[in-house]
Amino acid sequence: MSLSWAWLFLLLATFPWLLGVDLLSDAMAASGVCLFVSGAAIIAPCRRLRRWQAVLFSACVGFLFESLRPIPDGSLALLLVFIAIYLTSHRDEIRDMPKMFGAAVVVNALGCSAWFIAAGLAHTADVPLLSLHFLGQWLLHLLLATILAVLLLVPLTLVQNFAMDRVGVPQPDEAV
């Protein structure tokens, strides 16, 4: 496979994880929480992929999450693209594992906030933005997104690194 299609190959390798988290949300449907890991899924690719590839990958991950949910178009995908541009130009901030954990938590929390607020804006008549109800729900989703980012980052990174090795994506030190 050509190196320029590495982002697509990586997306196919990441998709089962995103689907797995959706199934976990399905199993917890009675609790009314939506689990989210798309933010953490862009960390490892941003270490090694070229910028345009990381941007395409992040956009696709965001659009995949949005496509089956009533979230305003592009609210998550465009934020992930912005983060991908930032991370690929500050690769030293995701150089080692502790820094990757920090980045995964922050990016996943930001992504979760983006879709939660964007979707919530449609219901401000029922639930005012600054109400205790809204803040409580938001904090709960943030907490779950943070926990999930910490729990899933290592296995997700292992799979993504394996996929990138197979495609021949350069190691982080060599990435431009």
Which of 9/63 has CB closer to another protein? 63
- CB of residue 164 to another protein, shortest distance in Å: 20
Separation of alpha carbons 154 and 157, rounded Å? 5
- CB of residue 5 to another protein, shortest distance in Å: 16
- CB of residue 166 to another protein, shortest distance in Å: 21
User: Looking at residue 95, what DSSP letter applies?
Assistant: S
- CB of residue 161 to another protein, shortest distance in Å: 22
Which of 98/130 has CB closer to another protein? 130
User: Looking at residue 170, what DSSP letter applies?
Assistant: P
Check if the beta carbon of residue 38 is closer than 8 Å to that of residue 162.
no
Query: What does the block give as tokens for 162?
Result: 């394996």
Q: Residue 72: what are its φ and ψ, rounded to 5°?
A: -55, 135
Which of 52/165 has CB closer to another protein? 52
Check if the beta carbon of residue 76 is closer than 8 Å to that of residue 38.
yes
Query: What does the block give as tokens for 10?
Result: 């990586």
Check if the beta carbon of residue 11 is closer than 8 Å to that of residue 41.
no
Which of 128/168 has CB closer to another protein? 128
Residues lying near another protein in the complex (CB under 8 A) are found at: 15-16, 19, 22-23, 25-26, 29-34, 51, 55, 60, 63-64, 66-70, 73-74, 78, 81-82, 85-86, 88-89, 116, 119-120, 122-123, 126-127, 133, 137, 140-141, 176
